[in-house]
Structure 1
């Protein structure tokens, strides 16, 4: 596997609704879909659909949600070889209400009861044979052990710092990664301020090869060691439906370009474009089937 990820996979139950309500009521939904989710898992799905060999390391239950999570990964080219299925455990799930008029969301999350992830020798072999290890701070102790294994074999580490996911205990994981893609909220909490110059100064430290600070509709800010820095404007979705998973899609697309040896500008432009396309449909992996079709067509044209 080129890319191995450690993170929590979920089963998302998404409902497109005309309006949110704080009162007890009955209303008719516009659209409904079930789809696998989770930041690392979704980034791997994007990479898988772009032709990368990928695999997720996580724990799921042996319930119906767990089976659906595995099927969703496999359908997007992500190996389930690193998954541990825990008998009797409940898999992670979420109900996501998406407001039709503007794509705003209300997310209700139910965590898994599968317990802490413990890496075994097979996991460590997968990591050490990969080109890149992708983490986001979930399964914190396992991620720390995985980084040690990756460093021993020269495997790159990328860190996804999503909004609302900062905590002091994972600072060391960020600082050991070579590819750092952080939301502005995460970066600001890490540094204790919101000034971009200060964020770049504090976060673009060795062994970082690139730092990306994503900023929603304001695009992303990218910096490389040596002082090169630029702003990547966000693309607009043709029709905005749902922003679920757009940041995760950005991560997967950016990492694909980075592994291809593209320039940082090419990586950021491609990632922004694919993330915008994902917002045109319901669900965090809405863009994956079209990416898979393009990848298959590209192979057929060779």
Structure 2
């Protein structure tokens, strides 16, 4: 059984600011904002939601199929995916474009400011969700606007249950479009802020949102996550990380564990518990794809 992961492949340039963003920004001067941050540390990592989710799934022994687009600079990313044993059949190169690029700056309180160049990701809709018996599960994660809309329709038409994970792409859609995503989806996964925005735009609360899907997950970082099923909430406590080094990609690591559990037919609470555990391991490593899951985690999965 394989899971089709619709989303971005991107290069992440991650910079560390040793101060606090809040102390550098004057709230009453936002209309003339002009700030500069000294970032002594800088690294470039493989990232993008599809890549990060696929990495987590593969670490857990799953069969991820990332469906994404890369640019003329993406050969190294293809090689990396293949070296990890991740099938790249649905990764397409777009000539004349760069691979999506995220520039992420993190302060000492783990607040983040991100600039994102979509590049080849804007052509992600050219690849269609196939009807194949081995593809039994999918996810719509942040991607090009057209791709997210079309792939959701294609999953539904193919009878493939999928997770709707709007993430940073949520602001691209109005309430009518978001309600349509929810009608098509089997599960919805959001963080606390995204959950509030999603409900606000549709005009419902979390309880009602959960009645429209099989399961709703609201992640809350170190506090764990809330699971909503048919209007009822269950809290799954977080796991204390050995160190808090870099939050980049934690949500994607969590979603990789969610997909792995759903592949196995687990109840949502067990999927969430594994997600909390994988997220805690990820936050102790720099970059979204540089952590390693030990045998104990893999065996538990």
Question: What TM-score, normalized by structure 2, do the two folds share?
Answer: 0.81
Q: 2:4 is paired with a residue of what secondary structure?
A: strand
CA contact (8 A) 2:122 2:145 kept: no
Distance 1:113 1:5, change over 3 A: closer
Question: Aligned match of 1:282 in 286, 292, 297?
Answer: 286
- Is it true that 1:209 corresponds to 2:210 in the alignment? no
Q: Displacement of 1:9 after TM fit?
A: 1.3
CA contact (8 A) 2:137 2:162 kept: yes
CA contact (8 A) 2:56 2:253 kept: yes
- Is it true that 1:106 corresponds to 2:113 in the alignment? yes
Instruction: Please name the residue that 2:206 is paired with.
Output: 200
- The 2-side partners of 1:26 and 1:120 are apart by 40
Distance 1:17 1:201, change over 3 A: closer
Instruction: Please name the residue that 2:2 is paired with.
Output: 2
Q: Displacement of 1:175 after TM fit?
A: 2.8
Structure 1: gaps of 5 or more residues: none
Count of aligned pairs between the two proteins: 284
Q: Displacement of 1:248 after TM fit?
A: 1.0
Instruction: Please name the residue that 1:68 is paired with.
Output: 76
What does 1:104-253 align with in structure 2 at a 5 Å threshold? 104-113=111-120, 115-120=122-127, 123-125=129-131, 129-136=134-141, 138-162=143-167, 165-166=170-171, 167-168=173-174, 169-192=177-200, 199-206=205-212, 208-225=213-230, 228-253=232-257
Q: Deviations over 1:257-294 (max 9, x none)?
A: 1221222222111111110111101112232xx23x63
CA contact (8 A) 1:36 1:73 kept: no
Q: Displacement of 1:209 after TM fit?
A: 1.7
Q: Displacement of 1:161 after TM fit?
A: 3.0
Q: 2:143 is paired with a residue of what secondary structure?
A: coil
- The 1-side partners of 2:141 and 2:36 are apart by 36
- The 2-side partners of 1:53 and 1:25 are apart by 41
Q: 1:3 is paired with a residue of what secondary structure?
A: strand
Q: Displacement of 1:106 after TM fit?
A: 3.1
Q: Deviations over 1:4-54 (max 9, x none)?
A: 11112111122345346866686643xx43222122331122112211111
- The 2-side partners of 1:28 and 1:141 are apart by 38
- The 2-side partners of 1:46 and 1:188 are apart by 26
CA contact (8 A) 1:98 1:104 kept: yes
Instruction: Please name the residue that 2:29 is paired with.
Output: none
Q: Displacement of 1:184 after TM fit?
A: 2.0
Instruction: Please name the residue that 1:81 is paired with.
Output: 89
Distance 1:87 1:17, change over 3 A: same
CA contact (8 A) 1:164 1:185 kept: no
Distance 1:24 1:185, change over 3 A: closer
Q: Deviations over 1:110-141 (max 9, x none)?
A: 221564224456x5245x64111110252343
Q: Displacement of 1:170 after TM fit?
A: 3.8
- The 1-side partners of 2:39 and 2:150 are apart by 48
- The 2-side partners of 1:164 and 1:158 are apart by 14
Q: 1:79 is paired with a residue of what secondary structure?
A: coil
CA contact (8 A) 1:222 1:230 kept: yes
CA contact (8 A) 1:16 1:282 kept: no
Q: 1:204 is paired with a residue of what secondary structure?
A: helix
After superposing the two structures, state which structure 1 stretch, 230-239 or 69-78, moved more: 69-78
Q: 1:182 is paired with a residue of what secondary structure?
A: strand
